[in-house]
Amino acid sequence: MSDNGKTTVRMTIDGRSIDAPVGATILEVARANGIDIPSLCYHPGVEAFGACRLCVVEITKPNWEGWKKLVTSCLYPVEEELIVSTRSEEVIENRRVVLDLQLARVPDSDVIRQMAAKYGIHDTSYEKRKDADTCIMCTICVRVCEAIGANAIATLSRGPEKYVDVPNIDACIGCGACALSCPTDAIPMTEENGVRHIWDKDFELVRCEVSGEPIGTPEQIKHFAEKSGLPESYFTKSDRQRKKETAADLARVMLG
């Protein structure tokens, strides 16, 4: 609730009048209303960080006397009387610069290439990074790992040299959420013969005690059992095996 007890604010996005919940960000409200704002570092499941600047929009207010400014919509909370433009010339130009720079950073990323192409950029106007991987430094992996509570991933170094890594490999529980959540598939993960390989480490997977299917790393299972307070016996079988057993239990109970 806002100071005056209201739970919504009346605002405008691209000429549309919208009642937005207090505390929400411009990005959330726009998307909830079917207005697309592109983003790279935003993930609804983790805290917003404002790293990529692709989500920048233009804002003004009736009493700003024509004065406007660009803000990162994934961080900026909605306000009464806010007037937002998600497609002004400045906004589009900002997106072009962000994507042009990203394309120089990760020339081989299909995701970025496709996004850039939408804004008419097919080749970067900057110097391409040498030996580039596909990491765009959105830090979603860092925040995902934090949300899980493992805190294994960090950003190291500074400026253009900055990169993400796992400084303390013992903290990594091998759950793979970082790799699966990465928007540009920059974190390699493989699973073969019951061994998961991620961040240059091999995790021997725990197998379903009945079917033998690999279900997760021992570290992952221990971590989630502890965090949730659920007994470890909840984490001993594959979903497929459990489902079948549930079906059998239901049948047994029914038939007496």
- Nearest alpha carbon to residue 100 among 140, 57, 136, 75: 136
Map the footprint of another protein across residues 169-208, applying CB under 8 A.
Answer: 175-177, 180-181
Q: Which is nearer to ligand FES, 13 or 40 (CB)?
A: 40
CA distance linking residue 85 with residue 60, whole number of Å: 9
Check binding of 45 to another protein (CB under 8 A).
yes
Check binding of 49 to another protein (CB under 8 A).
no
Q: Which two tokens stand for residue 92?
A: 């589009």
Taking residues 193 to 232 in sequence order and writing x for each that binds ligand FES by CB under 6 A, - otherwise, the string is ----------------------------------------
Q: How far is the CB of 28 from another protein (least distance, A)?
A: 11
CA distance linking residue 178 with residue 160, whole number of Å: 22
Q: Which is nearer to another protein, 121 or 152 (CB)?
A: 152
Selected binder of another protein within 68, 69, 162, 240 (CB under 8 A): 240
Q: How far is the CB of 38 from ligand FES (least distance, A)?
A: 8
Selected binder of ligand FES within 9, 29, 30, 39 (CB under 6 A): 39
Which region, judged by CB under 6 A, interacts with ligand FES, from 35-43, 113-121, 156-164, 170-178?
A: 35-43
Interface residue list for another protein (CB under 8 A): 43-46, 144, 147-149, 175-177, 180-181, 215-216, 220-221, 224, 227-230, 234-235, 237-251, 253-256
